[in-house]
Amino acid sequence: MSSPDVSAVGRRSPLGWGRRLAGVALAVGLTLGCAPVVAGPHPVQDPQPTPIDCPRSVGPGVSCLSVRDDAGAWLIIARPDNWNGHLIVHAHGGPRLGDPEQGDSLEDLDRFSAMVREGYAWIGSSYRRGGYGVRSAAEDVDRSRALFWSLYGRPERTLLHGQSWGGNVAAKTAELYGTDEAGGLTYDGVLLTNGVLNGGTRAYQFRADLRAVYQYICDNHPAATDPQYPVWQGLPAGARMTRAELRRRIVDCTGIGLSGRDRTAQQSRRKRELLAITGLEEDELVAHMNWATFTFQDLVQVRLGGRNPFDNSQTVYSGSSDDAALNAGVERFTADPEAVAMLAHDADLTGQIVAPTVTLHALHDPTVFYEAEAVYAETVASAGRSHLLVQAATDEDQHSKLEDVGYLTVLSALERWIDTGERPDPTRFQQDCVADHSPRSCRFVTPTRP
């Protein structure tokens, strides 16, 4: 499908990587590009950290603590005996929709345990509440930084790391809290991995398109027996659909996950049509439908007061056996400018980075498509800060966890950049990785522009 403002969509590029659905470009109702907000001191309660068991992956000689901050977020701290004096402040992905729990960040610590094994201290926040909210999460991330400093003093170096949706959160943290009241850097460097760096008003439109196309083909979400609602809502306020029920409906329509023998001809046809229009792979469909259902419900109903931030009023869908019928019959919706403005204020980025920033993204990331990197590069360039941005890519096809050696290679490059002032050359990352680690695990590539 395509729109008047966005080229190719729902297709694998000629290079075989980078998938997306195109949606109509949305007008942002706020002026972006203002100066970064100066970080002020966060009030910190007298914390009473509790020792907890570390994940085995961090290795021996590491102390782990849990503490709840005064905003209600649960924090996990890991501090190795051979601490190198550098701290990594982590922003997790999601957004997770449940209430925060004490051990939430242990999963994140386990995923990025290579950093602790390398000698870094680490702190991660659950955020004060579940659900969408980039600015709220960014404040919680910087609050975790302040709490660590209050416990151990300011480290020799503080680095900010964000993964997935946490990449959006960390990038926003860097913009809002990147400098202190004296104008000095709060974070000496920033690392963003597989990050949602195209901002809230762009990152989710393709899933709204997916819901519209899915409903046209399957007509069971909502089903005829359900209360009817526009698909951009995700679910009505208060609806209690489970993930298992959503999967059942998807399987009923498309037979996804069933063997060819157990899938009907009609299911096969629907699956083929749906994947052809959206450009998704079969094993990606359920995950994206989950986000387009449950995350949309939280975003629209709770965060935006029921307002619609999505727009497919001019989108031209293609790839079906009858595109004319598809475009005539698909559900259409028009964005509410106030909703777009609210989402832009919360989650869009200005590009006003102030510290050396490195991004790492898998070319075949099935969750946050690689094209987000091009959007971020353009955003930073528009702010005149391209000299502070280096972008790296690997040929991996995972989202939540890449090769440890990839993280360590870009982290080392970021550290050298801070030490020497010399901007890293991403074309050397593979060479640097092979020199320091197992060549079989080094996956860096030099892609063309998305």
Asked if 353 and 376 count as a contact pair (C-beta separation under 8 A), the reply is no
Asked if 96 and 267 count as a contact pair (C-beta separation under 8 A), the reply is no
Instruction: Look up residue 392 and give its amino acid.
Output: A
Asked if 28 and 15 count as a contact pair (C-beta separation under 8 A), the reply is no
The span from the CA of 75 to the CA of 124, in Å, is 6
The span from the CA of 278 to the CA of 257, in Å, is 18
Of the candidates 230, 205, 197, 192, the one whose C-alpha atom is nearest the C-alpha of residue 357 is: 192
Mean pLDDT computed over every residue of the chain: 89
* Model pLDDT, residue 10: 32
* Model pLDDT, residue 45: 53
For domain 50-199+348-445, give the CATH superfamily: Alpha/Beta hydrolase fold, catalytic domain (3.40.50.1820)
Please, which residues have CB within 8 angstroms of residue 97's CB and are 6 or more apart in sequence? 130, 131, 294, 295, 298
Residue with the two structure tokens 């490195």: 358
Residue with the two structure tokens 């963003």: 192
Tens-place pLDDT, residues 389-411: 999 999 999 999 999 999 999 99
Tens-place pLDDT, residues 408-444: 999 999 999 999 999 999 999 999 999 989 889 999 9
Asked if 147 and 67 count as a contact pair (C-beta separation under 8 A), the reply is yes
Which residues of 258-410 form beta strands (DSSP E)? 357-362, 389-394
Which residues of 12-61 form beta strands (DSSP E)? 50-52
Q: Provide the percentage of residues in the chain whose pLDDT is more than 90.
A: 83
Burial of 193 (0-12, 13-18, 19+ CB in 10 A): buried
The span from the CA of 395 to the CA of 446, in Å, is 9
Q: Where do the CATH 3.40.50.1820 domains begin and end in the chain? A: 50-199+348-445
Instruction: Report H helices in 80-133.
Output: 106-111, 113-117
Pairing of strands 189-193, 389-394: unpaired
Other CB atoms within a 10 A radius of the CB of residue 374 amount to: 15
Whether the per-residue pLDDT at 447 is higher than 90: the answer is no
The span from the CA of 104 to the CA of 207, in Å, is 26
Other CB atoms within a 10 A radius of the CB of residue 387 amount to: 10
Question: What's this model's pTM, rounded to 2 decimal places?
Answer: 0.89
Residue with the two structure tokens 């000698």: 119
